[in-house]
Every structure is written in C-alpha cells, then in structure tokens.
Structure 1
Amino acid sequence: MTTAAHPSFDVDTLRRSIEADTPEPLVSLYAKDAELRIVDRTTQPSHPKVLHGRDEIAALLDDVYSRDMTHKLEQCVVQGDRAAYSESCTYADGVRVLSESMLSLRDGKITEQTLIQAWDE
C-alpha cells in the first residue's frame, strides 16, 4: 500500500522567496484563490486591507519589491496546515519595517494570510 505524497510548505523556499530581489518566487507560493489581510497603522483591525486572489497579491508584491529595500525572514514555524513567520525589512535610508504573518496552507500553498506590520516614522 502506498500513500500519495502531498506537497509541503518548505521554510527554506519561503526564506529564498522573501529574500529574493523580485516578487515572483514569493507570488508562486500563493494559491490562485488566496486571501491576504493586512493590518497596520492605516488599515486597522476593524477595517483591514483585504486582497483576493494571487493576481491582487502579486500587484502588491510588485510594488513592494520595486522599492529600494531588503527583506529578511527572521523566524518561521510550520505545523500541519498552518505557519507563522516574522519578517524584517530595511529601506536604503535606514527606515525599518517589521511584520508578523499567520498562514493557512493547502497542498503546500498559502491560502490565507493575516499580516500585521509596523514601520519607523
């Protein structure tokens, strides 16, 4: 008897994708029907920014990765169909951004993400 292998979510792939110079590797980790909720100073918990589908998420990531900044995966924990990670970013002028994300996964792809971020002002 054999069991079918299910794609898994790989932390090293997430690290390489976040720390890449372009958004394409990160975009590829999202399911086509993924949803991203963003909470920060301007989009507070009662009215988060919500992006539906990989295309809307890709547009946001295209904008983010067009900026002169670095991205670093600080920590990541994966347990079953859930994952959480911390990311730090630094703009060329020294402004820092920190974010925390909670993920839901299906077949090794991100289906839901809640991202909470804060940055220097």
Structure 2
Amino acid sequence: MGTSTGSAFDTETLRRGIEGNTGNNLLSLYADDAEIRIVDHNSQPSHPKILHGRGQIAELLDDVYSRDMTHKLEQCIVQGDHAAFSESCEYADGTRVLAESMITLRDGKIAAQIMIQAWDE
C-alpha cells in the first residue's frame, strides 16, 4: 500500500474501513457531496448506478457490511488528487468479488469514485 507524501488522504484509514466490520470508518473518508458510479454486470457502463452524497453512500455501505463476507484492501496508490485501489471480497459460501476503484480527492476526502466490480456467478 502506498501513501503520497503530503496527501491528507489516509490510506491506513481506507484499509481499516474496507477490512472492518462496519462501513463507518470508510464513510468518514467521503465528502458530504461525494458521488460514486458503479459499473458491474447489473449496471453497464452506459447506465452505471450512481450514488449522490454521503446518505446514499451510507445506505450502500450498510447493505454491504451487513452481509456475511470479508473484505481486503489489496493495493492503494495515491498520486496528487487521485488514488486507485483494489479490493477483494469473499462471501461465507466462497463466492468472490473483485472491485477496482479510481477516486478523485478534494481536501483529503473522496469527492468522486468510479468502481468496477465483478463477482463469481
């Protein structure tokens, strides 16, 4: 995992947030007006799922962290006002999920994120 010198973005908090049991630490990294675009099997690139603001992001995180699964931050690279990270997840039944995210930072918080995810079917 990398950290950009001088960046207010805390990659250790990102790791703890992703690998934790709730989404609260992760949610703290988002700006109030953050936007997430999600592309996957259900939400194709021409019609991504879009979440606006911390309220909608909190709903997503509450749903994800209520599931019987583990999460691991594989890599995180920060460069200036941008960061990218890879996350792997596994459900209790062995189903795996891989997510890649590119984020834009503003004042050390996530302002925009695009997440591309795939899972075992």
Task: Name the TM-score, length of structure 1 as normaliser.
Answer: 0.94
- Residue by residue, what CA displacement relative to the aligned partner does 1:66-99 show, whole Å, maximum 9, x if unpaired? 0000000000000011000000000000000000
Question: Secondary structure in 2 aligned to 1:21?
Answer: coil
Amino acid at match of 1:90: E
1:51 pairs with 2:51: yes
1:93 pairs with 2:98: no
Residues 54-69 of structure 1: pairs in structure 2 closer than 5 A: 54-69=54-69
Residue of structure 2 equivalent to 1:112? 112
- Residue by residue, what CA displacement relative to the aligned partner does 1:13-37 show, whole Å, maximum 9, x if unpaired? 1101110101100011100000000
Contact persistence 2:39–2:49 (CA under 8 A): yes
- Residue by residue, what CA displacement relative to the aligned partner does 1:27-53 show, whole Å, maximum 9, x if unpaired? 111000000000000100000000000
Amino acid at match of 1:29: L
CA distance in 1, matches of 2:7, 2:32: 16
CA distance in 2, matches of 1:90, 1:82: 27
The alignment yields a C-alpha RMSD, in angstroms, of: 1.0
Residue of structure 2 equivalent to 1:9? 9
Gaps of 5+ in 2: 1-5
Larger radius of gyration: 1
Gaps of 5+ in 1: 1-5
Q: How many matched pairs? A: 116
Bigger Cα displacement from structure 2, 9-18 vs 76-85:
9-18
Percent pairwise identity: 72
Residue of structure 2 equivalent to 1:20? 20
Task: Name the TM-score, length of structure 2 as normaliser.
Answer: 0.94
